[in-house]
Protein backbone atom coordinates (compact mmCIF):
# COMPACT_ATOMS: atom_id res chain seq x y z
CA UNK A 1 0.00 0.00 0.00
CA UNK A 2 1.22 3.44 -0.80
CA UNK A 3 -0.17 6.84 0.14
CA UNK A 4 1.86 6.98 3.32
CA UNK A 5 1.37 10.71 3.39
CA UNK A 6 -2.21 10.30 4.50
CA UNK A 7 -1.67 7.25 6.66
CA UNK A 8 -2.40 9.18 9.82
CA UNK A 9 -6.11 9.64 9.05
CA UNK A 10 -8.61 6.82 9.57
CA UNK A 11 -9.26 5.32 6.15
CA UNK A 12 -12.75 6.00 4.79
CA UNK A 13 -12.99 2.49 3.44
CA UNK A 14 -10.74 -0.42 4.19
CA UNK A 15 -11.20 -3.72 2.44
CA UNK A 16 -9.12 -6.55 3.74
CA UNK A 17 -8.82 -10.01 2.32
CA UNK A 18 -12.13 -9.85 0.50
CA UNK A 19 -12.84 -13.12 -1.24
CA UNK A 20 -16.00 -13.98 -3.12
CA UNK A 21 -16.51 -17.35 -4.71
CA UNK A 22 -19.19 -18.35 -7.13
CA UNK A 23 -19.41 -22.07 -7.66
CA UNK A 24 -16.54 -22.91 -9.96
CA UNK A 25 -15.00 -19.46 -10.13
CA UNK A 26 -13.41 -17.09 -7.73
CA UNK A 27 -14.67 -13.61 -8.58
CA UNK A 28 -12.64 -11.84 -5.95
CA UNK A 29 -9.63 -13.19 -4.16
CA UNK A 30 -7.91 -11.54 -1.23
CA UNK A 31 -8.71 -7.99 -2.26
CA UNK A 32 -7.00 -5.32 -0.20
CA UNK A 33 -7.83 -1.67 -0.74
CA UNK A 34 -7.44 1.29 1.56
CA UNK A 35 -9.26 4.44 0.56
CA UNK A 36 -8.24 7.60 2.37
CA UNK A 37 -10.97 10.10 3.20
CA UNK A 38 -11.26 13.18 1.02
CA UNK A 39 -9.60 11.57 -1.97
CA UNK A 40 -10.58 10.27 -5.36
CA UNK A 41 -9.51 6.67 -5.42
CA UNK A 42 -9.59 4.98 -8.80
CA UNK A 43 -10.06 1.27 -9.29
CA UNK A 44 -9.02 0.09 -12.71
CA UNK A 45 -9.10 -3.30 -14.32
CA UNK A 46 -10.31 -5.15 -17.35
CA UNK A 47 -13.91 -6.16 -17.77
CA UNK A 48 -14.37 -9.37 -15.88
CA UNK A 49 -11.46 -8.59 -13.58
CA UNK A 50 -13.86 -8.47 -10.66
CA UNK A 51 -14.43 -4.74 -10.25
CA UNK A 52 -18.18 -4.93 -10.40
CA UNK A 53 -18.34 -7.83 -7.93
CA UNK A 54 -16.18 -5.86 -5.57
CA UNK A 55 -18.40 -2.82 -5.87
CA UNK A 56 -21.48 -4.93 -5.33
CA UNK A 57 -19.90 -6.21 -2.14
CA UNK A 58 -19.07 -2.71 -0.98
CA UNK A 59 -22.58 -1.53 -1.81
CA UNK A 60 -24.25 -4.39 0.03
CA UNK A 61 -25.59 -6.14 -3.03
CA UNK A 62 -23.50 -9.23 -2.36
CA UNK A 63 -21.92 -10.71 0.74
CA UNK A 64 -18.24 -11.59 0.70
CA UNK A 65 -17.27 -15.15 1.69
CA UNK A 66 -14.20 -13.95 3.51
CA UNK A 67 -12.63 -10.70 4.56
CA UNK A 68 -13.66 -7.59 6.38
CA UNK A 69 -14.99 -4.22 5.36
CA UNK A 70 -14.27 -1.24 7.56
CA UNK A 71 -15.93 2.10 6.98
CA UNK A 72 -14.38 5.00 8.89
CA UNK A 73 -12.62 2.52 11.12
CA UNK A 74 -15.71 0.55 12.11
CA UNK A 75 -16.20 -2.96 10.86
CA UNK A 76 -19.45 -3.33 8.96
CA UNK A 77 -21.43 -6.13 7.41
CA UNK A 78 -24.03 -5.24 4.80
CA UNK A 79 -27.03 -7.30 3.98
CA UNK A 80 -28.70 -4.89 1.56
CA UNK A 81 -27.78 -1.63 -0.19
CA UNK A 82 -29.81 0.23 2.41
CA UNK A 83 -27.29 -0.88 5.05
CA UNK A 84 -24.56 0.63 2.90
CA UNK A 85 -26.54 3.83 2.42
CA UNK A 86 -26.99 3.83 6.19
CA UNK A 87 -23.26 4.20 6.78
CA UNK A 88 -22.95 6.81 4.06
CA UNK A 89 -22.00 4.85 0.96
CA UNK A 90 -23.77 5.80 -2.25
CA UNK A 91 -23.44 4.40 -5.73
CA UNK A 92 -23.90 6.03 -9.11
CA UNK A 93 -24.51 3.28 -11.61
CA UNK A 94 -23.15 3.23 -15.10
CA UNK A 95 -26.64 3.04 -16.53
CA UNK A 96 -28.70 5.85 -15.13
CA UNK A 97 -31.67 4.84 -13.07
CA UNK A 98 -33.95 7.80 -13.53
CA UNK A 99 -37.62 8.09 -14.34
CA UNK A 100 -37.87 10.09 -17.56
CA UNK A 101 -41.28 11.57 -16.93
CA UNK A 102 -40.39 12.86 -13.47
CA UNK A 103 -38.74 16.17 -12.71
CA UNK A 104 -35.22 16.36 -11.38
CA UNK A 105 -36.57 17.05 -7.91
CA UNK A 106 -38.95 14.12 -7.99
CA UNK A 107 -36.20 11.83 -9.16
CA UNK A 108 -33.87 12.92 -6.41
CA UNK A 109 -36.35 12.43 -3.59
CA UNK A 110 -37.87 9.26 -5.02
CA UNK A 111 -37.73 6.64 -2.29
CA UNK A 112 -36.54 9.12 0.33
CA UNK A 113 -39.37 11.60 0.28
CA UNK A 114 -39.37 14.15 3.09
CA UNK A 115 -42.80 14.37 4.62
CA UNK A 116 -44.51 16.70 6.98
CA UNK A 117 -47.28 14.86 8.83
CA UNK A 118 -47.67 12.49 5.91
CA UNK A 119 -47.68 15.26 3.31
CA UNK A 120 -44.85 15.49 0.81
CA UNK A 121 -42.71 18.44 1.83
CA UNK A 122 -41.55 19.68 -1.57
CA UNK A 123 -40.34 22.99 -0.24
CA UNK A 124 -37.94 21.34 2.21
CA UNK A 125 -36.69 19.01 -0.51
CA UNK A 126 -36.14 21.90 -2.89
CA UNK A 127 -34.20 23.80 -0.23
CA UNK A 128 -31.98 20.87 0.49
CA UNK A 129 -31.34 20.08 -3.18
CA UNK A 130 -30.46 23.70 -3.93
CA UNK A 131 -28.12 23.69 -0.95
CA UNK A 132 -26.42 20.50 -2.06
CA UNK A 133 -26.20 21.65 -5.65
CA UNK A 134 -24.59 24.93 -4.70
CA UNK A 135 -22.25 23.41 -2.17
CA UNK A 136 -20.87 20.91 -4.68
CA UNK A 137 -21.09 22.85 -7.90
CA UNK A 138 -23.67 20.51 -9.41
CA UNK A 139 -25.97 22.88 -11.19
CA UNK A 140 -29.34 21.49 -12.22
CA UNK A 141 -32.81 22.92 -12.51
CA UNK A 142 -34.92 20.95 -10.03
CA UNK A 143 -38.14 21.47 -11.97
CA UNK A 144 -36.97 20.28 -15.34
CA UNK A 145 -38.21 16.96 -16.66
CA UNK A 146 -35.44 14.38 -16.81
CA UNK A 147 -36.38 13.36 -20.35
CA UNK A 148 -35.22 16.76 -21.57
CA UNK A 149 -31.78 16.47 -19.98
CA UNK A 150 -28.53 15.53 -21.62
CA UNK A 151 -26.28 12.79 -20.27
CA UNK A 152 -24.09 15.18 -18.32
CA UNK A 153 -27.10 16.65 -16.51
CA UNK A 154 -28.53 13.23 -15.84
CA UNK A 155 -25.31 12.20 -14.24
CA UNK A 156 -25.38 15.24 -11.98
CA UNK A 157 -28.91 14.27 -10.97
CA UNK A 158 -27.66 10.78 -10.11
CA UNK A 159 -24.87 12.22 -7.98
CA UNK A 160 -27.28 14.58 -6.25
CA UNK A 161 -29.59 11.66 -5.60
CA UNK A 162 -26.82 9.89 -3.76
CA UNK A 163 -25.74 13.01 -1.86
CA UNK A 164 -29.34 13.70 -0.91
CA UNK A 165 -29.39 10.38 0.90
CA UNK A 166 -26.47 11.56 2.97
CA UNK A 167 -23.67 9.68 1.26
CA UNK A 168 -20.13 10.69 2.22
CA UNK A 169 -18.50 7.96 0.15
CA UNK A 170 -19.47 7.85 -3.52
CA UNK A 171 -18.91 4.94 -5.84
CA UNK A 172 -18.96 6.00 -9.48
CA UNK A 173 -19.12 3.09 -11.91
CA UNK A 174 -17.63 4.03 -15.29
CA UNK A 175 -18.99 7.56 -15.03
CA UNK A 176 -17.25 8.89 -18.12
CA UNK A 177 -18.28 6.15 -20.52
CA UNK A 178 -21.20 8.19 -21.82
CA UNK A 179 -19.65 11.67 -21.75
CA UNK A 180 -17.81 13.75 -24.34
CA UNK A 181 -14.50 15.30 -23.27
CA UNK A 182 -16.06 18.64 -22.29
CA UNK A 183 -18.58 16.94 -20.05
CA UNK A 184 -15.86 14.81 -18.52
CA UNK A 185 -14.05 17.99 -17.56
CA UNK A 186 -17.21 19.30 -15.90
CA UNK A 187 -17.67 16.06 -14.03
CA UNK A 188 -14.11 16.18 -12.81
CA UNK A 189 -14.62 19.73 -11.66
CA UNK A 190 -17.57 18.54 -9.57
CA UNK A 191 -15.57 15.65 -8.21
CA UNK A 192 -12.78 18.00 -7.14
CA UNK A 193 -15.32 20.12 -5.30
CA UNK A 194 -16.78 17.06 -3.61
CA UNK A 195 -13.29 16.10 -2.57
CA UNK A 196 -12.68 19.57 -1.21
CA UNK A 197 -15.79 19.15 0.91
CA UNK A 198 -14.19 16.10 2.46
CA UNK A 199 -16.18 13.50 0.55
CA UNK A 200 -14.54 10.35 -0.70
CA UNK A 201 -14.97 9.16 -4.26
CA UNK A 202 -14.30 5.67 -5.51
CA UNK A 203 -13.96 5.93 -9.24
CA UNK A 204 -14.14 2.89 -11.47
CA UNK A 205 -12.92 3.32 -15.01
CA UNK A 206 -11.39 1.95 -18.12
CA UNK A 207 -10.13 5.21 -19.40
CA UNK A 208 -6.67 5.49 -18.02
CA UNK A 209 -5.91 9.05 -19.08
CA UNK A 210 -8.91 10.20 -17.13
CA UNK A 211 -7.96 8.11 -14.15
CA UNK A 212 -4.52 9.68 -14.13
CA UNK A 213 -6.10 13.10 -14.40
CA UNK A 214 -8.50 12.83 -11.47
CA UNK A 215 -7.30 10.14 -9.09
CA UNK A 216 -5.24 10.64 -5.96
CA UNK A 217 -4.57 6.94 -5.66
CA UNK A 218 -5.06 4.04 -8.03
CA UNK A 219 -5.62 0.38 -7.34
CA UNK A 220 -5.28 -2.08 -10.19
CA UNK A 221 -7.33 -5.26 -10.21
CA UNK A 222 -6.49 -8.19 -12.38
CA UNK A 223 -8.08 -11.63 -12.39
CA UNK A 224 -10.05 -10.93 -9.25
CA UNK A 225 -7.29 -9.68 -7.06
CA UNK A 226 -5.50 -6.43 -6.32
CA UNK A 227 -2.19 -6.52 -8.17
CA UNK A 228 -0.89 -3.03 -7.54
CA UNK A 229 -1.53 0.24 -5.78
CA UNK A 230 0.13 3.08 -7.57
CA UNK A 231 0.55 6.78 -7.28
CA UNK A 232 -0.83 8.54 -10.36
CA UNK A 233 2.07 10.97 -10.32
CA UNK A 234 4.68 8.42 -11.19
CA UNK A 235 2.94 6.08 -13.57
CA UNK A 236 1.98 6.44 -17.23
CA UNK A 237 -1.25 5.31 -18.86
CA UNK A 238 0.68 2.68 -20.71
CA UNK A 239 2.26 1.24 -17.60
CA UNK A 240 -1.13 1.21 -15.96
CA UNK A 241 -2.69 -0.60 -18.89
CA UNK A 242 0.07 -3.14 -18.81
CA UNK A 243 -0.58 -3.72 -15.14
CA UNK A 244 -4.22 -4.29 -15.98
CA UNK A 245 -3.64 -6.88 -18.69
CA UNK A 246 -0.41 -8.23 -17.32
CA UNK A 247 1.41 -7.87 -20.62
CA UNK A 248 2.48 -5.43 -23.26
CA UNK A 249 -0.37 -3.95 -25.19
CA UNK A 250 -0.95 -2.62 -28.66
CA UNK A 251 -2.42 0.73 -29.63
CA UNK A 252 -5.14 1.51 -32.15
CA UNK A 253 -2.62 3.26 -34.42
CA UNK A 254 -2.81 2.47 -38.12
CA UNK A 255 -0.66 5.06 -39.73
CA UNK A 256 0.57 3.42 -42.92
CA UNK A 257 -2.24 4.09 -45.36
CA UNK A 258 -3.79 1.26 -47.34
CA UNK A 259 -6.41 3.44 -49.01
CA UNK A 260 -6.85 2.66 -52.70
CA UNK A 261 -8.54 4.56 -55.52
CA UNK A 262 -11.37 2.08 -55.89
CA UNK A 263 -14.55 3.31 -54.29
CA UNK A 264 -16.42 0.61 -52.40
CA UNK A 265 -19.39 2.43 -50.98
CA UNK A 266 -20.92 5.68 -52.13
CA UNK A 267 -23.63 7.34 -50.10
CA UNK A 268 -25.31 10.27 -51.83
CA UNK A 269 -27.79 12.73 -50.40
CA UNK A 270 -29.10 10.36 -47.76
CA UNK A 271 -32.02 11.98 -45.97
CA UNK A 272 -34.33 10.54 -43.36
CA UNK A 273 -37.23 12.26 -41.70
CA UNK A 274 -38.78 11.49 -38.34
CA UNK A 275 -42.52 11.23 -38.00
CA UNK A 276 -42.67 14.88 -37.04
CA UNK A 277 -40.73 17.28 -39.16
CA UNK A 278 -37.22 16.93 -37.78
CA UNK A 279 -34.64 15.52 -40.14
CA UNK A 280 -32.79 12.58 -38.63
CA UNK A 281 -30.39 12.49 -41.54
CA UNK A 282 -29.90 15.59 -43.60
CA UNK A 283 -28.31 15.20 -47.01
CA UNK A 284 -25.49 12.91 -45.97
CA UNK A 285 -22.95 12.06 -48.67
CA UNK A 286 -19.60 10.32 -48.51
CA UNK A 287 -17.55 7.65 -50.19
CA UNK A 288 -15.40 4.92 -48.70
CA UNK A 289 -12.57 3.37 -50.68
CA UNK A 290 -11.11 -0.08 -50.57
CA UNK A 291 -8.77 -0.35 -47.63
CA UNK A 292 -10.12 2.77 -45.99
CA UNK A 293 -11.57 3.24 -42.54
CA UNK A 294 -13.92 6.18 -42.38
CA UNK A 295 -14.67 7.24 -38.84
CA UNK A 296 -17.90 8.96 -37.91
CA UNK A 297 -17.62 11.05 -34.77
CA UNK A 298 -20.61 12.42 -32.98
CA UNK A 299 -22.42 12.61 -29.70
CA UNK A 300 -24.85 9.76 -29.50
CA UNK A 301 -28.26 10.46 -30.99
CA UNK A 302 -27.09 12.74 -33.78
CA UNK A 303 -28.06 10.37 -36.56
CA UNK A 304 -25.44 7.63 -36.32
CA UNK A 305 -27.97 4.84 -35.72
CA UNK A 306 -30.14 6.13 -38.51
CA UNK A 307 -27.20 6.26 -40.89
CA UNK A 308 -26.22 2.68 -40.12
CA UNK A 309 -29.72 1.36 -40.42
CA UNK A 310 -30.28 3.18 -43.69
CA UNK A 311 -27.14 1.62 -45.14
CA UNK A 312 -28.23 -1.81 -43.89
CA UNK A 313 -31.68 -1.33 -45.40
CA UNK A 314 -33.35 -1.71 -42.03
CA UNK A 315 -34.90 1.75 -42.21
CA UNK A 316 -35.87 3.48 -45.39
CA UNK A 317 -34.33 6.78 -46.38
CA UNK A 318 -34.18 8.99 -49.43
CA UNK A 319 -30.96 9.16 -51.36
CA UNK A 320 -28.73 6.78 -53.19
CA UNK A 321 -26.42 3.99 -52.10
CA UNK A 322 -23.89 2.30 -54.31
CA UNK A 323 -21.79 -0.70 -53.43
CA UNK A 324 -18.88 -1.36 -55.79
CA UNK A 325 -20.60 0.59 -58.55
CA UNK A 326 -23.93 -1.19 -58.16
CA UNK A 327 -27.02 0.73 -57.12
CA UNK A 328 -28.24 -0.99 -53.98
CA UNK A 329 -30.77 1.66 -52.95
CA UNK A 330 -33.78 -0.56 -53.44
CA UNK A 331 -32.24 -3.75 -52.11
CA UNK A 332 -33.44 -5.67 -49.09
CA UNK A 333 -31.26 -6.13 -46.04
CA UNK A 334 -30.69 -9.74 -47.07
CA UNK A 335 -29.53 -8.82 -50.53
CA UNK A 336 -27.19 -6.17 -49.17
CA UNK A 337 -25.69 -8.67 -46.79
CA UNK A 338 -25.28 -11.20 -49.57
CA UNK A 339 -23.53 -8.55 -51.65
CA UNK A 340 -20.86 -8.34 -48.95
CA UNK A 341 -21.92 -5.86 -46.30
CA UNK A 342 -20.90 -6.91 -42.82
CA UNK A 343 -22.48 -5.36 -39.77
CA UNK A 344 -21.18 -5.07 -36.22
CA UNK A 345 -24.19 -3.47 -34.54
CA UNK A 346 -23.91 -0.81 -31.87
CA UNK A 347 -25.98 -2.84 -29.43
CA UNK A 348 -24.90 -6.44 -29.71
CA UNK A 349 -27.70 -7.73 -27.51
CA UNK A 350 -30.37 -6.00 -29.50
CA UNK A 351 -29.22 -6.49 -33.06
CA UNK A 352 -26.27 -8.80 -33.03
CA UNK A 353 -27.09 -11.93 -31.11
CA UNK A 354 -29.69 -14.49 -30.30
CA UNK A 355 -28.81 -14.67 -26.64
CA UNK A 356 -30.83 -17.78 -25.99
CA UNK A 357 -29.39 -19.66 -28.91
CA UNK A 358 -26.11 -21.51 -29.21
CA UNK A 359 -22.96 -19.97 -30.59
CA UNK A 360 -23.15 -21.87 -33.84
CA UNK A 361 -26.70 -20.67 -34.39
CA UNK A 362 -25.43 -17.19 -33.85
CA UNK A 363 -22.81 -17.90 -36.48
CA UNK A 364 -25.63 -18.71 -38.90
CA UNK A 365 -27.44 -15.47 -38.13
CA UNK A 366 -27.03 -13.09 -41.04
CA UNK A 367 -25.53 -15.88 -43.12
CA UNK A 368 -28.63 -18.01 -43.50
CA UNK A 369 -28.44 -17.85 -47.26
CA UNK A 370 -24.71 -18.27 -47.65
CA UNK A 371 -22.13 -20.99 -47.34
CA UNK A 372 -21.14 -22.61 -45.07
CA UNK A 373 -24.36 -22.25 -43.12
CA UNK A 374 -26.64 -23.04 -46.00
CA UNK A 375 -27.19 -26.13 -48.01
CA UNK A 376 -30.30 -25.84 -50.12
CA UNK A 377 -33.31 -25.30 -47.91
CA UNK A 378 -31.41 -26.73 -44.97
CA UNK A 379 -29.18 -25.20 -42.38
CA UNK A 380 -25.90 -27.07 -42.62
CA UNK A 381 -25.36 -27.70 -38.94
CA UNK A 382 -22.10 -29.54 -39.29
CA UNK A 383 -20.48 -26.90 -41.48
CA UNK A 384 -21.86 -24.11 -39.30
CA UNK A 385 -20.45 -25.72 -36.18
CA UNK A 386 -17.11 -26.32 -37.83
CA UNK A 387 -16.92 -22.72 -38.94
CA UNK A 388 -17.87 -21.55 -35.46
CA UNK A 389 -14.98 -23.62 -34.14
CA UNK A 390 -12.77 -21.74 -36.56
CA UNK A 391 -14.02 -18.37 -35.26
CA UNK A 392 -13.60 -19.50 -31.67
CA UNK A 393 -10.05 -20.45 -32.52
CA UNK A 394 -9.03 -17.48 -34.68
CA UNK A 395 -10.76 -14.81 -32.66
CA UNK A 396 -9.97 -16.29 -29.27
CA UNK A 397 -13.57 -16.57 -28.14
CA UNK A 398 -13.41 -18.11 -24.68
CA UNK A 399 -16.20 -20.65 -24.45
CA UNK A 400 -16.69 -24.24 -23.30
CA UNK A 401 -17.96 -25.11 -26.77
CA UNK A 402 -19.97 -24.01 -29.76
CA UNK A 403 -23.18 -25.41 -28.27
CA UNK A 404 -23.01 -22.99 -25.36
CA UNK A 405 -25.71 -20.33 -25.29
CA UNK A 406 -24.51 -16.90 -26.33
CA UNK A 407 -25.76 -15.35 -23.09
CA UNK A 408 -23.24 -17.35 -21.09
CA UNK A 409 -20.33 -15.50 -22.64
CA UNK A 410 -18.87 -12.27 -21.35
CA UNK A 411 -19.39 -9.12 -23.40
CA UNK A 412 -15.92 -9.21 -24.87
CA UNK A 413 -16.26 -12.79 -26.02
CA UNK A 414 -19.67 -12.13 -27.49
CA UNK A 415 -18.22 -9.22 -29.39
CA UNK A 416 -15.31 -11.28 -30.68
CA UNK A 417 -17.80 -13.83 -31.95
CA UNK A 418 -19.73 -11.12 -33.77
CA UNK A 419 -16.59 -9.65 -35.28
CA UNK A 420 -15.53 -13.12 -36.40
CA UNK A 421 -18.91 -13.76 -37.91
CA UNK A 422 -19.10 -10.49 -39.77
CA UNK A 423 -15.59 -10.94 -41.12
CA UNK A 424 -16.41 -14.37 -42.53
CA UNK A 425 -17.42 -14.65 -46.13
CA UNK A 426 -14.98 -11.92 -47.09
CA UNK A 427 -17.13 -8.82 -46.86
CA UNK A 428 -16.39 -5.88 -49.14
CA UNK A 429 -17.70 -3.33 -46.70
CA UNK A 430 -18.09 -3.43 -42.95
CA UNK A 431 -20.10 -1.26 -40.63
CA UNK A 432 -18.41 -1.31 -37.26
CA UNK A 433 -20.50 0.52 -34.69
CA UNK A 434 -18.77 0.81 -31.35
CA UNK A 435 -16.81 -2.37 -32.07
CA UNK A 436 -15.05 -2.35 -28.70
CA UNK A 437 -17.73 -0.91 -26.43
CA UNK A 438 -17.89 -2.68 -23.10
CA UNK A 439 -15.01 -4.90 -24.11
CA UNK A 440 -11.89 -5.44 -22.03
CA UNK A 441 -8.48 -4.23 -23.09
CA UNK A 442 -7.32 -7.61 -24.32
CA UNK A 443 -10.32 -8.15 -26.55
CA UNK A 444 -10.16 -4.54 -27.67
CA UNK A 445 -6.63 -4.98 -28.93
CA UNK A 446 -7.64 -8.18 -30.72
CA UNK A 447 -10.60 -6.50 -32.41
CA UNK A 448 -8.45 -3.56 -33.50
CA UNK A 449 -5.97 -6.03 -34.92
CA UNK A 450 -8.66 -7.79 -36.94
CA UNK A 451 -10.01 -4.52 -38.30
CA UNK A 452 -6.53 -3.43 -39.27
CA UNK A 453 -5.77 -6.72 -41.02
CA UNK A 454 -9.05 -6.63 -42.91
CA UNK A 455 -8.37 -3.05 -43.94
CA UNK A 456 -4.99 -4.05 -45.28
CA UNK A 457 -6.73 -6.81 -47.24
CA UNK A 458 -8.93 -4.22 -48.94
CA UNK A 459 -11.96 -3.98 -46.69
CA UNK A 460 -13.81 -0.67 -46.56
CA UNK A 461 -14.96 0.16 -43.05
CA UNK A 462 -17.42 2.65 -41.67
CA UNK A 463 -16.37 3.07 -38.06
CA UNK A 464 -18.67 4.66 -35.53
CA UNK A 465 -17.36 5.03 -32.05
CA UNK A 466 -17.73 7.06 -28.90
CA UNK A 467 -14.16 6.24 -27.98
CA UNK A 468 -12.34 9.15 -29.58
CA UNK A 469 -8.91 7.57 -29.21
CA UNK A 470 -10.14 4.57 -31.11
CA UNK A 471 -11.69 6.77 -33.75
CA UNK A 472 -8.59 8.89 -34.22
CA UNK A 473 -6.26 5.92 -34.02
CA UNK A 474 -7.99 3.66 -36.52
CA UNK A 475 -9.57 5.99 -39.05
CA UNK A 476 -8.05 7.14 -42.33
CA UNK A 477 -10.45 10.04 -42.36
CA UNK A 478 -13.05 11.34 -39.95
CA UNK A 479 -16.41 12.93 -40.57
CA UNK A 480 -18.31 14.62 -37.76
CA UNK A 481 -22.05 14.11 -37.59
CA UNK A 482 -24.12 16.71 -35.79
CA UNK A 483 -27.91 16.79 -35.84
CA UNK A 484 -28.05 14.45 -38.80
CA UNK A 485 -25.59 16.43 -40.93
CA UNK A 486 -21.97 15.79 -41.70
CA UNK A 487 -20.52 19.06 -40.48
CA UNK A 488 -16.78 18.56 -40.77
CA UNK A 489 -14.27 16.35 -42.53
CA UNK A 490 -11.10 16.01 -40.50
CA UNK A 491 -7.72 14.44 -40.85
CA UNK A 492 -7.11 12.11 -37.91
CA UNK A 493 -3.38 12.75 -38.03
CA UNK A 494 -3.73 16.30 -36.75
CA UNK A 495 -6.72 16.33 -34.48
CA UNK A 496 -6.94 16.04 -30.73
CA UNK A 497 -9.85 14.49 -28.84
CA UNK A 498 -10.57 17.93 -27.42
CA UNK A 499 -10.97 19.56 -30.81
CA UNK A 500 -13.01 16.64 -32.06
CA UNK A 501 -15.24 17.01 -29.02
CA UNK A 502 -15.74 20.65 -29.96
CA UNK A 503 -17.01 19.70 -33.41
CA UNK A 504 -19.19 16.95 -31.97
CA UNK A 505 -20.98 19.26 -29.55
CA UNK A 506 -21.37 21.96 -32.16
CA UNK A 507 -19.07 24.30 -30.26
CA UNK A 508 -16.73 24.60 -33.24
CA UNK A 509 -18.45 24.66 -36.61
CA UNK A 510 -18.87 27.06 -39.49
CA UNK A 511 -22.29 25.86 -40.46
CA UNK A 512 -23.76 25.56 -37.02
CA UNK A 513 -27.49 25.91 -36.82
CA UNK A 514 -30.20 25.50 -34.25
Partner 1 sequence: MPAGLNRALLTLAGAVVAVLLAIAICSVAIIVAGGEPLAALTALFDFGESARAQSNSIAVFLNRAVPLFIAGLAVAVGFRMNLFNIGVEGQYRIAAVCAAYVGSTFTAPAPIQITVIILVAALVGGLYALIPAVMKVTRGVNEVIATIMLNYIAINLSSFLVRGPFAGQRAEGELNVTTPKLPESAMFPDLNFLFEGFGMLPPTRNGGLWGFIVVAIVLGVLVWVVLERTRFGFNIKASGLNGPAALASGVNPKTMVISAMVLSGAIAGLIGLPEILGDRGAFNSNFTAGLGFLGIAVALLGRNKPVGIAIAALLFAFLDRAQGALQFAGIPPAVITIIQGAIVLLVVVANEVTGRFARRLEERRAAQQLGRNTPVEVTA
Tell me if 72 contacts partner 1 by CB under 8 A. no
Tell me if 435 contacts partner 1 by CB under 8 A. no
CA atoms within 13 A on the CB side of 148: 9
Tell me if 276 contacts partner 1 by CB under 8 A. no
- Where in 312-351 is the site for partner 1 (CB under 8 A)? 312, 314, 332-338, 343, 345, 350-351
How many angstroms separate the CA atoms of 201 and 218, rounded? 12
> Does residue 372 have a cis bond before it (omega within 30 degrees)?
yes
The count of chain residues that interact with partner 1, using the rule CB under 8 A, is 57
Helix (H, G, I), strand (E, B) or coil at 471: helix
Nearer to partner 1 by C-beta: 313 or 492? 313
Contacts of 452 (CB under 8 A, 6+ apart): 254, 474
Q: Which of 105, 145, 140, 144 is nearest to 126 (CA)?
A: 105
CB of 272 to partner 1, least distance (A): 17
Nearer to partner 1 by C-beta: 29 or 144? 29
Query: Site for partner 1 (CB under 8 A): which residue of 357, 383, 386, 509?
Result: 357
Tell me if 51 contacts partner 1 by CB under 8 A. no
How many angstroms separate the CA atoms of 500 and 478, rounded? 10
Nearer to partner 1 by C-beta: 23 or 510? 23
Instruction: Quickly list DSSP for 387-430.
Output: HHHHHHHHTT---S-TTSBGGGS-HHHHHHHHHHHHHTT--SEE
Query: Site for partner 1 (CB under 8 A): which residue of 61, 110, 279, 379?
Result: 379
How many angstroms separate the CA atoms of 509 and 486, rounded? 11
CB of 293 to partner 1, least distance (A): 21
Beta-ladder partners of 33? 15
Contacts of 329 (CB under 8 A, 6+ apart): 319, 320, 321
Q: Choose one: 129-137, 259-267, 354-362, 472-480; the region binding partner 1 (CB under 8 A).
A: 354-362
Tell me if 378 contacts partner 1 by CB under 8 A. yes
CB of 384 to partner 1, least distance (A): 10
Query: Site for partner 1 (CB under 8 A): which residue of 234, 400, 511, 514?
Result: 400
Tell me if 151 contacts partner 1 by CB under 8 A. no
How many angstroms separate the CA atoms of 319 and 271, rounded? 6
Residues near partner 1, by CB under 8 A: 22-25, 48, 220, 222-223, 225, 227-228, 243, 246, 312, 314, 332-338, 343, 345, 350-358, 361, 364-369, 374, 377-379, 381, 398-401, 403-405, 407-410, 413
Amino acid sequence: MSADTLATATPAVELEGITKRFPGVVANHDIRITVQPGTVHAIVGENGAGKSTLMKILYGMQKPDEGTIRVNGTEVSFRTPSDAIGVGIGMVHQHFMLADNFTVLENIILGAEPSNVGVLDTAAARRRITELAEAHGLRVDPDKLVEGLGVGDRQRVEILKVLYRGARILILDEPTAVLVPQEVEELFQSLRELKAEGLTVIFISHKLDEVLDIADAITVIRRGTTVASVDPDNVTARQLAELMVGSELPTPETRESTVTDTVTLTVSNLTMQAEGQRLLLDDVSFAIHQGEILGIAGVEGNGQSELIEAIMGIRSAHGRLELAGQDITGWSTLKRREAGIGYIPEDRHRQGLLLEASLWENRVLGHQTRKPARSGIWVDRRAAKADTERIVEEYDVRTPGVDTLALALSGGNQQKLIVGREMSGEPAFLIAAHPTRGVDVGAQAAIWGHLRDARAAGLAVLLISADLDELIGLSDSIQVIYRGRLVAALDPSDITPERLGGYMTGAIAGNEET
